[in-house]
Amino acid sequence: MKLFYKNIVFILFCAIFLILSLRGINGNPNASELASGIWSEEGPFELSPERGRFALLYSLVEDRSVFFSLDVARFALPDLGLKNGKYVSLFAPGVSLITIPGYLLGKIFGVAQVGTFFVISVFAILNALLVKKIALRFSTSEQTSTLAAFAFLFASPAYAYAVNLYQHHISTFLILTSVYLLLKREHILNDILVWFLFGIGILVDYPNIFLMLPLMIFMLSRYVKHYSDILGHKLQISIWKAVAVLGIIIPIIIFARYNEKAYGSAFTLAGTVEHIREINVHALPDRFGNLGKEEVVEPSSYEIRNPYEFFKTRNLLNGIYIHLISPDRGILNFAPLILFSIVGVFELTRKKKTAALLVAIAGTNLMIYSMWGDPWGGWAFGSRYLIPAYAAISVFLAVALEKFRRDKLFLLMVFMAFVYSFLINTLGALTSSANPPKIETGNLSLLSGHEEKYTYERNLDYLVSKGTKSYFYNRYLGDLLTPVQYFFLLTSVLVSVTAATLVHIYTFKQENEVELVLKTQGSWKNIRIAFSLADKFRTTAKNMGLF
Amino acid sequence: MHKLQTISTFEITISKNFLAKVQDFLKEHMDIGVITILTLVALFSFMFYYTNGLGLKYNDARSHLDIGRRVVEGLKPGIAQLGSVWLPLPHVLMIPTIWSDFFWHTGLSGALVSMLSFVATGYLVYLFLKRYNVGILGQIVGVGVMASNINTLYLTSTAMTELLLLATMTAGVYYLIVWAKDEKIINLVKSAFWIMLATITRYDGWFLFAIAALLIGAIVLKKRKIHAIEGNLILFATLAGFGIFLWFLWNLLIFNDPLYFIFGPYSAHAQQAQLKAAGELPTIGNFYLSLKTYLFAMMYNSYTYPAIVGLIGLVVLWFDRKIDYCVRIASIALFAPFVFNILALYLGHSVLFLPEIIGNTWFNVRYGLMMVPTLAIAFGYIVDRSKNYRWVLLGLFFLISFFSFISYDAVTIDDALYGASQKNVSEVSGWLRENTKSKEGYILISAASHDAVIFSSGLPMKKFIHEGTGAYWDYAVEDPDKWASWIVLRTHDVNDLTFREIQDAQGFKNFELVDHYPFADIYQLKPEYRVSVITKPILGKLK
């Protein structure tokens, strides 16, 4: 609770921004309404991963069943499973289960979908907070770690996926929480919790097994301690710590129980059941339906025979290009700010052993999804699969800023990257995540008869022509501001706060007078500090070289 | 809880003496350990690919084995059978074993050379890393990167020439850096010797020879005065260039033209000219495409991640002041295969197809393997230098390796199985085996076009009259019905030497087409002419 109290301003700031950007429309949709365009393509459930997960949530809550009714099944298309003659979800159940409270709460206020999506926003805020807290563990200041958290939440595609219904922020939360626990003092309860989070991770998204692997190896490596004294080297192996594995039991029971109910066997994975792409006019499953724009893209939604077959080293080169450089998904185009974190990674090469854990998470994330057959993530905004990596690597931005806090050129470059990344990602959050991969645009252009864009230009066109999907804007501000004005308003606030923080970082040294005064502001005992502080503010502009 | 902690916490104490002994033991026996493990890996690799039938899938592998075999068996055996296109060392090294049908038909004769080369290359990677003052972990990782690469393992089990080239080139560069450090002439001589062997293995070695000469000049210039360049270069070039000199001489003596291997009818130049005419050589004159093509081949052969990390490692190595400057200059030679292959593509001397990049199929993608030892060295080096992140680099390497084995990812195997480097000649060779084995008579065939058929038929080499059989060939193409009982050729294809030579021969009309396959047609002498056909080696070996 202390953590929240101390960061209340930060949390409120993030929460306000995410509420202002949250996608949604008013109402509690029923099963027959869900499949209509207003809720699907043109509404908040624009892509099949969102629909598939909401469909399961809806069935669990409204129909008390893991099987889909015909209406819900139509809504979930084209990612629909069929088992024993019943329609089932092709996605791991974690996201649907975790967002149930949001749905129920939202339903009370007549905004069931908005409530559901808001659960993801809560996880996004927690992630930003965790980025900040982890950055602080690497001897960074409050300001630089706050900027690192902003970089993750608002200057990367994590923003666009904090306002809709995807698994990424929940997965990132599980990873960051585990990192936070493992970086703290060693305690068996922390280990139990990490095992528990690992189990939840499997429930949320199967590839989390790989993404959380570095954490598990790190944890297990701590079971063996190495000491050295005059006699020699001692290895202390704490086998008793293996009891921590009990933490995974509850998630595994939920996992097995759900699988048994839905797919008939505790160990049948969601993606292994028959894949239905269409339901015909006779309400019968059509196994050979045309692949539409939302062709299955989720790792957990393919027909799995050998789960390892999804990850092929032959795909690595293309995958790395798509994630890092490509115009349709690459970090270079969607979140160049994140690249400044590399400076921080090098800075910690010899200083902090634990930094390797974050690099391992980011590296594993990049490698796993580069080996994945569809590195684009289907129709998406930026590289959505790398959201855990953005979080892990953002921590190093704080380290880099700390290192170069007196370097005007570096700070200026970071600021410019912030501005660019804010503009791009706010655009993505306010509009749509349905950007096709470049390779699909040729055929799409032929079908539509006009040029189909695949970068953030598509989002810009959307903003100008169709507006925004923001629930808050459409409900309360639509008459006061144009969508473009709304977009610039949000971006301006983000840019202003960042600029002010960067100026602060540049002007004051870490743990200097300002922070001392702020910490003891109730007393103001030291008048000398107060005077020097006033002097600092007076000379700020001069220090920055503005005069 | 406390009681549980106490009873289930084990403490192992390793005395400093014991640890020192282990370290000494490792230091003393590391070399033999590395060699033993690499040998076991090579043996396992051969057994694996032999038993699953992939070992001889490359058309070229079968041709290499046939060339070696023709030296010791056939209608006109002898050293002249080493030919003019492919450089001779791989075939010379087969001679001690190729006489045995077992060694010939299992491919072991060639694979043995590849296996020894694999062990040597892996060991050299280890020696390189020792030279760069890399710790034991880095040394093991470097060797592991090379030895766990399925592409390397596959070519280790075949009769191809890539592994031999890797071994000789890596040895040449290794002694070059040793010389750059200690300036002992013996090391320069050793470097020259290995580079000389590389020059008679593949033409890549010729480029290494030139690069090494340049680097020697630069190193001497850096260390001493300009007059010393001459002496060192002469010493190096005399031995390292001896193989190239011999090859020119060989071509002059056997084919009456020292440049026969460059401009002869079976040369790469002639093949590339055909490809160019067909518009299938787009890299020629296009540097960007050449660079991209080779980079992709290199990445595919090394599973991308080790290549990216390795390239970063090479940059770090260049700026590492702990390593002698001259050693760093000499290390530039590790890039020789990279530059050579790009230049060869750009100048049109080489062809490489990669689906979706260039061409519609795989072809010669194995050239990308040439950089694997360099990348392995660089990977081991960067793991050593990256301190806190070394376990991350290593962990990701294990992850990638795990998936490379799970997904059975090997472009070299795809090339051999589905690419232009493969030829399914089992139908033609099967027909020959079934219909000619127990009968007397010769088969007229062009080895240049159908060596894979000769090999796969399982028939003795002396059963075939081919362009390397001297007077037998000359007489047979003039009067095929007097010399050959069967003819294998691609009808109406003038690139097939047999067809080109006999298409107008009167005797060819006395043959009947008995079978037709995608790669070749089989003709058999009509029964009424069989009485007079020659079925014994009447000309003797000297003609």
**Same domain, residue pair A433 and A527:** no
Question: Of A386, A376, A373, nearest to A309 (Cα)?
Answer: A373
With bands split at pLDDT 50, 70 and 90, how would you rate the model's confidence at A340?
Answer: very high
| The pLDDT value given to residue A518 | 52
A57 located within any domain = yes
| The pLDDT value given to residue A277 | 79
A272 pLDDT exceeds 80?
A: no
With bands split at pLDDT 50, 70 and 90, how would you rate the model's confidence at A297?
Answer: very low
Question: Of B409, B425, B399, nearest to B520 (Cα)?
Answer: B425
- What does pTM read for this prediction? 0.89
Partner residue facing A367 (CB), from B9, B11, B399: B399
**Same domain, residue pair A9 and A112:** yes
CB B91 within 8 A of CB B67: yes
Between A140-144, A205-209, A352-356, the lowest mean confidence (pLDDT) is in A352-356
| The pLDDT value given to residue A288 | 55
A519 pLDDT exceeds 60?
A: no
| The pLDDT value given to residue B358 | 83
* Pairwise CB contact (< 8 Å): B389 & A313: no
**Same domain, residue pair A507 and A490:** no
Which residues in B lie closer than 8 A to residue A313 (C-beta atoms)? 303-304, 400, 403-404, 407, 409
Of all residues in chain A, the percent with pLDDT exceeding 90 is: 60
Among B309, B315, B354, B392, most A C-beta atoms within 10 A, so best to mutate, is: B392
Which residues in B lie closer than 8 A to residue A234 (C-beta atoms)? 11-14
CA distance A102 to chain B (A): 37
Which residues in A lie closer than 8 A to residue B411 (C-beta atoms)? 314
**Same domain, residue pair A494 and A504:** no
| The pLDDT value given to residue A301 | 43
**What is the rounded average pLDDT of the residues A131-141?**
90
**Same domain, residue pair A300 and A363:** yes
A197 pLDDT exceeds 90?
A: yes
Among A316, A349, A361, A399, most B C-beta atoms within 10 A, so best to mutate, is: A316
**What is the rounded average pLDDT of the residues A38-56?**
89
CA distances from B445 to A302, B285, B498, B532 (A): 52, 37, 6, 20
**Same domain, residue pair A533 and A415:** no
Check if A229 contacts B (Cβ < 8 Å): no
**What is the rounded average pLDDT of the residues A55-75?**
92
**Same domain, residue pair A522 and A404:** no
Which residues in B lie closer than 8 A to residue A312 (C-beta atoms)? 403, 407, 409
| The pLDDT value given to residue A64 | 92
* Pairwise CB contact (< 8 Å): B19 & A233: yes
Rounded Cα distance between B290 and A454, Å, is: 29
pLDDT tens readout for residues A393-424: 999 999 999 999 888 999 999 999 999 999 99
A311 located within any domain = no
**Same domain, residue pair A482 and A504:** no
Fill in the amino acid letter for A254.
I
CB B236 within 8 A of CB B188: yes
Determine the structural domain holding residue A513 and report its residue range: 499-543
A232 pLDDT exceeds 90?
A: no
Fill in the amino acid letter for B38.
L
* Pairwise CB contact (< 8 Å): A234 & B13: yes
**Same domain, residue pair A403 and A531:** no
User: Which residue of chain B has the CA closest to A309?
Assistant: B407
User: Which residue of chain A has the CA closest to B10?
Assistant: A237
Mean pLDDT over each residue of chain A, to the nearest integer: 87
A209 pLDDT exceeds 90?
A: yes
A259 pLDDT exceeds 80?
A: yes
The ipTM (two decimal places) reads 0.88
| The pLDDT value given to residue B88 | 95
A304 vs A246: which has the higher pLDDT? A246
**Same domain, residue pair A507 and A392:** no
Residues in chain B, pLDDT under 70? 1-5, 7, 225, 420-423, 540-543
A469 vs A296: which has the higher pLDDT? A469
With bands split at pLDDT 50, 70 and 90, how would you rate the model's confidence at A517?
Answer: low
3-class state of residue B128 by DSSP: helix
Rounded Cα distance between B459 and B431, Å, is: 11
With bands split at pLDDT 50, 70 and 90, how would you rate the model's confidence at A534?
Answer: low
CA distance A179 to chain B (A): 15
| The pLDDT value given to residue A299 | 44
Tokens describing residue A64? 């008390």
A295 located within any domain = yes
**Same domain, residue pair A489 and A507:** no
Q: How many domains does chain A have?
A: 2
**Same domain, residue pair A298 and A430:** yes
CA distances from B451 to A100, B69, B164 (A): 70, 11, 22
* Pairwise CB contact (< 8 Å): A311 & B389: no
Check if A315 contacts B (Cβ < 8 Å): no
